[in-house]
Structures are given as C-alpha cells and as structure tokens.
Amino acid sequence: MMFHVQSDVSLKPFNTFGVEVKARWFVEAHNDSDVRDALAWASEKNIEVLVVGGGSNLLLTGDIDALVLRMASRGIRITHEDCGGAIVEAEAGEPWHPFVQDMLARGLSGLENLSLIPGTVGAAPMQNIGAYGVEIKDVFHSLVALDRQTGELREFALQDCAFGYRDSVFKHQVGRWLILRVRFKLSFAATLHLDYGPVRQRLQEQGIEQPTPIHVSRAICAIRSEKLPDPAVLGNAGSFFKNPVVPAELAGRIKQEHPGLVAYPQAGGQVKLAAGWLIEQAGWKGFREGDAGVHALQSLVLVNYGAATGLELLKLAQRIQADILERFGVSLEMEPNLY
C-alpha cells in the first residue's frame, strides 16, 4: 500500500481544542485511493475508523482506540462557468478559509459571509456551517461521498442532503458517508447579505458605501477576530452550543422576566434564542476552572487555556447545560462531535 499507517500518534495538532489524546492508529488520505486503502486496512483488522478534517468540530474526551483517518486531499476545479457564475469543486481536505479567499480572488461571491470559519471543505456540509445570515445550503450545488457500506460513490444534490440548522443527513447517518469533494454554485454578480449582526454597521464605520464581497469578507474577519479566539492561540471549537429553538410561549415567559432576551421568530410558532445571551445572563461568561473555561468575550465559546482535558471541557459544558435548563427551562445542544 502507498499510504503509511502510524501508531500511537498525538492528536493535539489535529483538534482545535488542542486536547492531548492519542490515536491507536493514524493515516492521512491524499486521494480517493488512500481513502479506500485505509478503509480496507481497517476492515481487514476489524478496527473502527474515525474520519477527521480540520478537527474544528471535535471534543476528544480520551485516547482513540481506532484508526483516525485524516482527510488531506487538495485541489480546486471549476467544473462549469458562464457569464453569471461558476460551479466550483473542491477536495474535502481543502482548508475552508483559504478556499473562501481563493474564490473571492477569482471574482466569485457567495461565500464571503462564511469567512474565517475554521475547518475543511469536506466538513462544511456535515453541519451545514453558517454565519452572518448565510449557510452552506445557500451556495451548495452537490457533493460526492463514498458509501462505506457498499464502497460505491454517490452524488448528493441539494435536496438529498436534508440541510437544517447546523444539521444534515450526514450527521444522522454517522459512519456511513465519507465526503470526498464538494461543489458550490457561486456568482460573479454579488448579492450581499449585510443585515445579520454588525456587518452593515462595520462597513459604515469604515466609510464603505458600496461594499464588494471582499469588503464584506474583511469586515467579517475583523468582527470574528475581535469576538472569537484564534485556535492557534487559545484552544476552542468555535460556538460550542446551538442556538435553541423553542415554542413562542416559552420565549414569551422568559422575556417577561428578562426583557433583554435576544430572540428571532421562526416558522411554525417557534422562536430561536441566542444561546450566548442565556449563558451570559447565567453568569458563565469568563468563568474558568483549571484550564477549562468560557471565553471572556464570547460566552458561546468554551476554551482550553493550555492543559484542559476533553473530559474537563465536557463536564463544564454539562454544568452549563444543567444551569440553563434550571434557570430558563431551555435545553442547550452541543455543536461539537464527542469522541
């Protein structure tokens, strides 16, 4: 086999929390052949496989007694182009933010609101990543995934992915689909999304009256850098909890007691609440116990100050969940995958 399986490999460089755990076996896949060889190797030895990308949506709570398969495939191709836009295909291992910047440099818009999100292209559809009013589903064209049950390749169109808020079919069929490459439908004519969060305000402060996609990307990068810690400096996995969607009646009761409640009406008589606001109101913002803590500037982000274990971070998250449920009657769901 061309690929090389390593044993007892530290996963600290491969998870943005910077948690120190080891993989019993580890291999990097640079192409489809590597993926198939790794899966065949694991199957022959009856070993489980954990597929990772950038490790930005993981909380590792102990050593992994499995083959950790890191997707490291690279490559960007334009599969169709006309005067209106292009369909761009990127390999699963492409780092997300550089891919976004590459598209903007080519004059293609649609991804600018998703700037500076950590992770890889292949992981992006898994949880339908979103920020500042845009989600993957808004720019998604299709993807190619390997069916680990049959070994066959399958094309997924938009309607096949069952995208929802931080959700997709790939999250519900865990271990079956391995995303190899993703295609995006991007445009040369920009349709900017400026009304979510402080994006428009930031552009106005900069005196930009007719913003371009690149202006929007830069503004969002600046906003994210101010609010969210750089994983290279302070270990984290971005937003740790999903914004909960609750019945309007419950939101109304909370608002009576807390007039400053941050809430967004949804379809079907539901209301989306800002999880960060709930956590901050409960007094968790800036909390630290040992090296596990809640970020001082963004209460939605759990951080590793250096030597926190995955279990310590998990226990902190569970304490926050229990407190929010007791105070507000709201259940918070964790975003990262736990292993």
Residues tagged active-site: 166, 239, 335
Structure tokens at 260: 């400053």
What is the rounded CA–CA span in Å between residue 206 and residue 110?
22
- Reference 236, options 285, 183, 301; nearest CA is 301
Helices (H), the chain: 32-44, 96-105, 169-172, 199-205, 213-227, 248-257, 275-281, 310-328
Residue 238 CA to residue 114 CA, distance in Å, equals 13
The one-letter amino acid at 40: A
CA distances from 43 to 29, 37, 49, 295, 328 (A): 16, 10, 9, 41, 47
- Answer left, alpha or beta for residue 75, where phi above 0 means left and psi between -120 and 50 means alpha: left
Q: How many residues does the chain have?
A: 339
To 5 degrees, how large is the angle CA 34–CA 15–CA 154?
A: 40
The residue to which tokens 């800036």 are assigned? 286
Query: For residues 218 and 117, what is the distance between their CA atoms, to the nearest angstrom?
Result: 13
Instruction: Please list, in sequence order, all residues whose beta carbon lies within 8 angstroms of the beta carbon of residue 198, skipping any fewer than 6 positions away.
Output: 223
Q: What is the DSSP letter of 25?
A: E
Plot region of 157 (φ>0 → left; ψ -120 to 50 → alpha; else → beta): beta
Strand duo 49-52 + 64-71: pairing: parallel
What is the phi/psi pair of residue 235, to 5°? -60, 130
